[in-house]
Amino acid sequence: MRNVSNKKVKRNVEYSNDRIENDNYYLERSLTTDKYRQEKNLKAISNENKRKKQNEIATGMKTKKGNAIQQEALKKDNGNGYGLDAIRNSNHAILNLDKINLKIIDELLSNPDITSSDIAKKIKIPLSTVQRRRTMLERSVLKKNYQLNILQYGFRYADIFVDVTNGEAKEVGKILIDKFDRNILKASTRINSSNNLCLQIVYKESEELHDILEHIKRMPTILKVDWSEMISIVGDNTISLISNLLMEEIDNLEKKTIKTHRWL
């Protein structure tokens, strides 16, 4: 009987030991798995950080390379040859009006429909240079618009000069443009002794002009209102004037260039 009891105790002990070993095995396996997962996560994070770093380096190299190319293009011939002489300000390019740009502007103002090929032939500059500079000029300082001569259809032009108090010229101008958006072409503030707001309007009947004038006079910040109607355009010297100014600027640039070469 005692032997049977001892065997039973021994069996229970062995069973307990087996369970303990089994639990230890699974515990060790679980710890190993958790450790493996942690190492795997850390490795993944490390790889991600490394990839980001590589991308940052690659982007930086690309940006530096692009900036270097731009700077080289900007410096080429100091703007007197075929390079794009421009000053970088934030993300905008402010073009220097060097000799070549001025000549291109002059040709475009004289004939907006002129081809880049014809400009290249006239000013004796490579076509690719003219195309590149023309694109930059048209994106920055040049605008091409079609204008309809509405005088031929019975419409009339007038300028309304308004003296506004309390420093509200801009606000009044915006209000009037919203109110008479079918008549007012432009509103601009002015500096002179009699008015500080000018409205350029178009109308067909005198009654329209009268309604606009009376509405402006009723506004509380208005001191005085004058107006004048345009009867006909006697002449337009805009293009000729600008062309002459451009030619003077080109001459000044050439003189500076000659003077610089003499000093060198």
Residue 239: pLDDT band with limits 50, 70, 90: confident
The answer as to whether 263 is a domain residue is no
pLDDT over 80 (residue 190): yes
The answer as to whether 119 is a domain residue is yes
The answer as to whether 264 is a domain residue is no
The answer as to whether 245 is a domain residue is no
Domain endpoint, select from 38, 54, 77: 77
- For residue 87, report the phi and psi dihedrals to the nearest 5 degrees: -105, 125
Specify which residues 200 forms β-bridges with: 159, 186
The token pair that represents 195 in the structure block:
């008015």
For residue 174, the model assigns a pLDDT of: 94
Give the pLDDT confidence of 163-179 residue by residue, as tens digits. 999 889 999 999 999 99
- The CATH number for 192's domain is 3.30.70.920
Are both 182 and 164 inside the same structural domain? yes
Q: How far apart are CA 73 and CA 85, in angstroms?
A: 8
Q: How far apart are CA 105 and CA 215, in angstroms?
A: 43
Give the pLDDT confidence of 58-74 residue by residue, as tens digits. 555 555 555 554 455 44
pLDDT over 90 (residue 198): yes
The token pair that represents 130 in the structure block:
């003219």
Domain count across the chain: 3
Q: How many Å from the N-terminal Cα to the C-terminal Cα in the chain?
A: 124
- Label residue 31 exposed, middle or buried (CB < 10 Å: 0-12, 13-18, 19+): exposed
The answer to whether 94 and 87 have CB atoms below 8 angstroms apart is yes
pLDDT over 90 (residue 196): yes
How many helices (H) and strands (E) would you count in the chain? Answer: 7, 6
Phi-psi label, residue 154: left if phi above 0, alpha if psi -120 to 50, beta otherwise: left
Global pTM value: 0.48
Residue 17: pLDDT band with limits 50, 70, 90: low
Range scoring the smallest mean pLDDT among 79-88, 93-102, 126-135, 178-187:
79-88
Q: How far apart are CA 153 and CA 44, in angstroms?
A: 74
Give the pLDDT confidence of 131-149 residue by residue, as tens digits. 999 998 888 888 777 666 7
Boundaries of domain holding 37:
1-77
Are both 40 and 94 inside the same structural domain? no
Cβ neighbours of residue 189 closer than 8 Å, sequence gap 6 or more: 169, 170, 173, 196, 197, 198
The token pair that represents 53 in the structure block:
């770093």
Give the pLDDT confidence of 22-50 residue by residue, as tens digits. 666 655 666 566 665 666 667 667 667 76
Q: How far apart are CA 85 and CA 78, in angstroms?
A: 7
The answer to whether 86 and 94 have CB atoms below 8 angstroms apart is yes
- Per-chain mean pLDDT for the chain: 75
Are both 95 and 127 inside the same structural domain? yes
pLDDT over 70 (residue 105): yes
For residue 177, the model assigns a pLDDT of: 94
Question: What does each C-alpha distance from 206 to 7, 35, 157, 218 come to in angstroms?
Answer: 126, 90, 11, 19
Cβ neighbours of residue 194 closer than 8 Å, sequence gap 6 or more: 161, 163, 224, 226
The residue type of 227 is W
The token pair that represents 62 in the structure block:
């690309």
- For residue 115, report the phi and psi dihedrals to the nearest 5 degrees: -85, 155
Q: How far apart are CA 210 and CA 96, in angstroms?
A: 47
Domain endpoint, select from 58, 77, 96: 77
- State mean pLDDT over 93-97: 57
Give the pLDDT confidence of 208-237 residue by residue, as tens digits. 999 999 999 999 999 999 999 988 778 777
Can you give the length of the chain in residues?
264
Q: How far apart are CA 80 and CA 82, in angstroms?
A: 7
